[in-house]
Amino acid sequence: MPLFNDISKVWTKYGNQIVSGIWNTVLISIAGTLIGLIIGLFNGIIRTMPKPKNIILRAIMRVVNWIINAYVEVFRGTPMMVQAMIIYWGYAYLSGGDSLPLIPAGIAIVSINTGAYITEIVRGGIISIDRGQFEGAMSIGMSHFSTMLHIIIPQVMRNILPAVSNEFVVNIKDTSVLNVIGVTELYFYAQSAARNSYKIFASYLIACAIYFCLTFTITRILRFIEKKLEGRGNYTIFGSQSDSTAEIRVSEEEEPVNA
């Protein structure tokens, strides 16, 4: 079949390039999602802080919140492709002709963009935790910071994992827009293979299959991690209520209660 022929020709000639493109795509999307998650956690935690009593602190908080809001609105409200152009060429313009190193620039653009979305995801995750747990922590004197660290954030992380996984999958696909500034990711090489070999359909078919394999594998891995984080449904009972010397162990697997 001519199509298979085309595919194998493209692969033989441009396979090495395409594989290096895969690595860059994976690198940029993993780093971008992780850094975006850190940005998002930071912003989400700040945005849900209780109002300080001190007037000066309150004013500072108001300014910080305004900045975070502006950041979220601007980066959620404009296309990443345009952001990439503006950051890359903006830097070149302002620095008088210097250009940003491409892979770090790509990671920065994806991180900033993802951070804007994850800020809102984290805020939602925090306010969805029942107010009672904050009060329980307050009632034994825990500070807002240690309540967040030990009680709230561990639960938030578990709850937002599906949404963050989603961002990760979106990032794998959306790194393709970084080709506009010349980042050598998967799409960049697929495009160059198509241009050089004139086998356009075959080249993009290869890219499509690889993108799908990447997102599918990563979805499965994250699903697995989610299951692990859910914890075991069972627990070990020590002793018995009537006989303090007895030790009973319950080990049969139960369905997780709030799966």
Partner 1 sequence: MPEKVIEIKHLKKAFGDNDVLKDIDFSISKGETVSIIGSSGSGKSTLLRCVNLLETPTGGEILFHGENIQTELDVSQYRARVGMVFQSFNLFDNLNALQNCIIGQTTVLGRDKGAAKAKAMEYLEKVGMTPYINAKPRQLSGGQKQRVAIARALAMDPEVILFDEPTSALDPEMVGEVLSVMKRLSESGMTMMVVTHEMAFARDVSDRVVFMNDGYICEQGTPADVFGNPKREETKNFLSRFLNQ
Closest CB 188 distance from partner 1, rounded Å: 43
| Per-residue contact string for residues 224-253; x = within reach of partner 1 by CB under 8 A | -------x-x-xxxxxxx--x---x-----
Note the maximum CA span of the chain: 81
Other Cβ atoms within 10 Å of 112 Cβ, number? 19
d(CA 19, CA 10): 13
* Of residues 77 and 132, the one with the C-beta less far from partner 1: 132
Does 143 bind partner 1 (CB under 8 A)? Our answer is yes
Stretch that binds partner 1, among 87-95, 98-106, 110-118, 142-150 (CB under 8 A): 142-150
**Least distance (Å) between residue 53 CB and partner 1:** 9
Residues numbered 174 to 203 that lie near partner 1 (CB under 8 A) are none
Kindly tell me which of 17 and 155 has the beta carbon lying closer to partner 1: 155
The yes or no reply on residue 139 touching partner 1 (CB under 8 A) is yes
C-alpha dist (Å) from residue 203 to 19, 77, 87, 183, 198: 13, 32, 30, 18, 9
CB 230 within 8 A of CB 212: no
Among 104, 136, 162, 182, binds partner 1 (CB under 8 A): 136
**Can residue 154 be called a binding residue for partner 1 (CB under 8 A)?**
yes
Among 140, 251, 252, 255, which residue sits at the site for partner 1 (rule: CB under 8 A)? Answer: 140
Question: By the criterion CB under 8 A, which residues form the site for partner 1?
Answer: 132-133, 135-143, 146, 150-151, 154-155, 158, 231, 233, 235-241, 244, 248, 257-258
